[in-house]
Amino acid sequence: AQSVAQPEDQVNVAEGNPLTVKCTYSVSGNPYLFWYVQYPNRGLQFLLKYITGDNLVKGSYGFEAEFNKSQTSFHLKKPSALVSDSALYFCAVRDTGNTPLVFGKGTRLSVIA
Amino acid sequence: DAGVIQSPRHEVTEMGQEVTLRCKPISGHNSLFWYRQTMMRGLELLIYFNNNVPIDDSGMPEDRFSAKMPNASFSTLKIQPSEPRDSAVYFCASRIAGVSYNEQFFGPGTRLTVL
């Protein structure tokens, strides 16, 4: 069975500082990994995904994520946080087929000016 | 493309009433998903369809919940009778099935309040 863990419910970071939102996964096959962002009163928006190849994936709004197979992690990162990055972030995984994405519980990011 | 369209955006109803939520997936997408989001339980998958056929409805909380997809461009989620604990934001999402790395696209959600 596939699963995703986001160990932090809340991450606080000062504006301009680097940010990391953690995600670990468990799948039986090769993982396809995704990050989504949810702003208040909005639906989930796709940020980026890992398919294969380069372990560093770049996505929207300056976000990137690093795939680490040995640690089964896919942490979301940004070099310099903005107040507007404050939102709820979800990590998700799928291994194969037509199955739905399996989402983590979400991490609330708060960027303080 | 207009993206996934959901209606209504907000629904306030009284306990015992029937509620119908609607979703129009992105044209060409053949997988459709219904999710529920609450503070307590987070994001829950209720049911999903591939090519208009329900594949897994194990997330549907009770028999009061039902979902249909009569054609490729329309789906409904019905709650009858509604209860206060059904209050949540309900999301619809769609994707192109058959490719494992395709992302799901989410609609804006319907905020349901049952009084």
pLDDT at B53 over 70: yes
Check whether the bond before B8 is cis (ω within 30° of 0). Answer: yes
Quick check: B106 and A45 CB within 8 A? yes
**Closest A-chain CA to B48:** A100
% of chain B beyond a pLDDT of 90: 88
The beta-strand segments (E) located in chain A are: 3-5, 10-14, 19-21, 24-26, 32-38, 44-50, 56-58, 64-68, 73-78, 87-94, 102-103, 107-112
User: Given this model, what pLDDT does residue A108 score?
Assistant: 97
Mean pLDDT of chain B: 95
Closest-CA distance, B63 to chain A, in angstroms, reads: 22
Distance separating alpha carbons of residues A95 and B36, to the nearest angstrom:
23
